[in-house]
Amino acid sequence: MNTNPLVQADRRLSDLALALPGAARVFHRHGLDFCCGGRATLSEACADQDLDLEQVLRELSVEPSAGEPAARWVEAPLAELVEHVLERYHAGHREELPRLVAMAEKVERVHADKSSCPHGLAAHLQLIADSMEEHMQKEEQVLFPMLLAGRGRMAAMPITCMREEHDDHGRNFVKLRALAQDYAAPAEACATWRALYQGIEQFVIDGMEHVALENNVLFQRALSG
């Protein structure tokens, strides 16, 4: 039974992700896109994926999380929100992605003869690292300074560009999950292999939260401010 009044089937995925700290993990578990596809309602998204809506509602109602609702950033000072994005996501991705690339390269090298080896995983992670670095630099050097200078309404063109690149990130996350075998390490996987899949899963969740926060909060505030 759903006991959380915030959890409603007719609410958009993006709204639920903002309101509920544990929603991102539930959506990720079921393959629901709450960042680029976040405008769909929960009922619409579950129907599209042929998911049990009542089961997802129950999971959303009880999912534990030590975090805080992302909705607090709707009212926080813009400079504080930008700083949060830089520290929580930009810095985090730059620290984590090289580690994951190195681990993937090791796994592919050591286990190349196994049929379960995730061939191509390291190359795709490197592609993501390169594309995200280029994207983050555009935000840091062009978009964010515009927003902090109070020129948000003039930023429609760069924001459109960033949204399109976010869509590319979303497609890359989907392929990454497939290459990582839905994060289910095979029985013969070593400790590094298992840690790699765990790290990739957390990175994808963080990446989707990052995109959702920018698309649904930062950019919305910038264009209406």
163 in a structural domain: yes
Judgement on whether residues 53 and 80 belong to the same structural domain of the protein:
no
Q: Which residues of the chain have pLDDT under 70?
A: 1-4, 38, 64-69, 71, 225
Taking a C-beta distance cutoff of 8 angstroms, is the pair 15, 34 a contact? no
- Backbone phi, psi, residue 59, to 5°: -65, -40
134 in a structural domain: yes
Judgement on whether residues 158 and 204 belong to the same structural domain of the protein:
yes
5 in a structural domain: no
Report in angstroms the alpha-carbon separations of 90 from 3, 123, 134, 150, 165.
Answer: 35, 21, 11, 22, 15
Instruction: Note the helical H segments in 91-182.
Output: 91-110, 121-138, 144-148, 156-179
Number of domains in the chain: 2
Judgement on whether residues 53 and 142 belong to the same structural domain of the protein:
no
Question: Of 62, 86, 102, which marks where a domain is finished?
Answer: 62
Judgement on whether residues 98 and 208 belong to the same structural domain of the protein:
yes
Judgement on whether residues 92 and 198 belong to the same structural domain of the protein:
yes
Judgement on whether residues 106 and 182 belong to the same structural domain of the protein:
yes
Judgement on whether residues 57 and 81 belong to the same structural domain of the protein:
no
pLDDT at 14: 86
Judgement on whether residues 36 and 89 belong to the same structural domain of the protein:
no
6 in a structural domain: no
Judgement on whether residues 57 and 84 belong to the same structural domain of the protein:
no
pLDDT at 68: 60
Judgement on whether residues 46 and 105 belong to the same structural domain of the protein:
no
Judgement on whether residues 44 and 147 belong to the same structural domain of the protein:
no
Domain with 48 in it: 13-62
Judgement on whether residues 85 and 48 belong to the same structural domain of the protein:
no
